[in-house]
Structure 1
Amino acid sequence: MADIVNLRHVRKQKARLEKEHTADQNRALHGRTRAEKERDRMTADRSERFVAGHRREPSGGDSEQ
Structure 2
Amino acid sequence: MAEIVNLRAARKARARSAAAAVADANRAAFGQSKAERAASASESARRARTLDGAKREP
> TM-score interval w.r.t. the shorter chain?
0.5 to 0.7
Normalised TM-score (structure 2):
0.53
Please identify runs of 4+ aligned residues in structure 1 that moved more than 4 A: none
Normalised TM-score (structure 1):
0.48
- Report the counterpart of residue 29 of structure 1 in structure 2: 29
Aligned pairs for 1:43-62 (under 5 A) are: none
Counterpart CA distance in 2 for 1:31 and 1:14 is 25
Between the two proteins, what is the percent identity of the paired residues? 51
Task: Give the RMSD, CA atoms, in angstroms.
Answer: 1.7
Which is helix-richer, 1 or 2? 2
Unmatched tracts of structure 1, length 5 or more: 41-65
Unmatched tracts of structure 2, length 5 or more: 36-58
Number of residue pairs the alignment of both structures matches: 35
Q: Which amino acid aligns with 1:2?
A: A
